[in-house]
């Protein structure tokens, strides 16, 4: 009888611990302010206001992300290309976010500081060539951009260098790689300050302890 009572006690304690763990889970969150015109549903994502000019007196309006992702990007004219690329990046971000799971702990600050942003991998921001990718690999934003001004705006963070204007948006939070630790879904936009040029990218950032560096778990654009 004593052994049975002990066993039941252990089972009860384990159930309590399991409930405590479950109660500590934080569900994934998406910053919907970065997804204007998006109606995100389980099976599809509806779009409102995403119309593009594809020819003389000819427009195309995308009603779902699924429709936009299947569209032949080569049929998008150059003057609409970047705006369409931003839409595709947002749609892919939503698709990735739908696979995020609840997390039980985080090592990211609830409100990111300038120091936090500088600690992000330099490749969080878009790169333009293999050489630039190699030069920024294994560096932080602080290491890669010696002179940089950081400011916080409504929907993200603005980084200014001598030649670059970069925007970083924290789109979502949740567990991406099944380790119960919170990851960040981050998009970025790059614009040339003194020339014509722009680019966008999407990454998932992880930080597995207080003292470990932030790493990139996944990225949309990879060096070719």
With helix as H, strand as E and coil as C, how does 11-74 read?
HHHHHHHHHHHHHCCECCEECHHHCCCEEECCCCEEECCCEEEEECCEEEECCEHHHHHHCCHH
147 and 214 co-located in one domain: yes
Task: Evaluate whether residue 105 is within a structural domain.
Answer: no
Residue 181 lies in a domain: yes
The reply to whether 160 and 82 lie within a common domain is no
For residue 6, being part of any structural domain is answered with no
For 30, 133, 144, the CA distances from 84, given in Å and listed in that order, are 21, 24, 29
- Residue 63 inside a domain? The answer is yes
Domain that holds residue 152: 114-219
Residue 24 lies in a domain: no
Compute the residue count for the chain: 224
Domain match, 90 and 125 both: no
**Residue-level pLDDT, tens digit, the chain, 224 residues:** 544 444 333 343 344 434 434 568 999 999 999 999 999 999 999 999 999 999 888 999 999 999 999 999 999 999 999 999 999 999 999 999 999 999 999 999 989 999 999 999 999 999 999 999 999 999 999 999 889 999 999 889 999 999 999 999 999 999 999 999 999 999 999 999 998 899 999 999 999 999 999 999 999 999 88
Task: Indicate the residue among 53, 70, 97 that finishes a domain.
Answer: 97
Interacting residues of 134 by C-beta distance below 8 A, sequence separation 6+ = none
Within a domain: 130? yes
For residue 78, what is the enclosing H or E element?
helix 78-97
- Token reading at 76: 């998008």
Among 21, 31, 45, which residue's Cα sits nearest to residue 184?
31
* 134 & 68 share domain: no
Using CA atoms, how far apart are residues 28 and 182, in angstroms rounded to an integer? Answer: 9
Query: What are the phi and psi torsion angles at 32 (to 5°)?
Result: -70, -15
Judge contact between 206 and 108, C-beta under 8 A.
no
Number of domains in the chain: 2
Structure tokens at 113: 């500081």
Residue 16 inside a domain? The answer is: no
Domain membership of residue 103 (yes or no) is no
pTM over 0.95: no
Separation between Cα atoms, residue 87 and residue 40, nearest integer Å: 14
126 lies in the same domain as 204 = yes
Cβ(141)–Cβ(120) below 8 Å: yes
Q: Are residues 151 and 93 in the same domain?
A: no
Same domain, 201 and 127: yes
């Amino acid at each position: 009888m004593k052994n049975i009572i002990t066993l039941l006690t252990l089972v009860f304690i384990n159930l309590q611990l399991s409930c405590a763990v479950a109660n500590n889970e934080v569900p994934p969150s998406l910053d919907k302010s970065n997804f204007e015109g998006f109606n995100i549903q389980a099976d599809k994502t509806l779009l409102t206001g995403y119309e593009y000019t594809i020819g003389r007196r000819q427009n195309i309006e995308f009603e779902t992300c699924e429709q936009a992702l299947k569209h032949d990007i080569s049929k998008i004219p150059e003057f609409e290309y970047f705006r369409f690329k931003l839409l595709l990046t947002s749609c892919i971000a939503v698709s990735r976010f739908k696979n995020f799971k609840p997390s039980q702990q985080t090592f990211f600050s609830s409100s990111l500081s300038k120091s936090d942003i500088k600690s992000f991998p330099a490749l969080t921001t878009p790169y333009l060539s293999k050489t630039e990718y190699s030069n920024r690999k294994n560096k932080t934003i602080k290491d890669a951009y010696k002179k940089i001004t950081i400011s916080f705006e409504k929907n993200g963070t603005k980084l200014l260098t001598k030649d670059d204007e970069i925007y970083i948006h924290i789109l979502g939070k949740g567990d991406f790689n099944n380790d119960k630790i919170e990851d960040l879904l981050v998009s970025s936009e790059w614009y040339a300050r003194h020339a014509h040029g722009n680019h966008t990218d999407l990454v998932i950032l992880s930080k597995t302890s207080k003292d470990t560096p932030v790493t990139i778990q996944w990225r949309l654009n990879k060096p070719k």
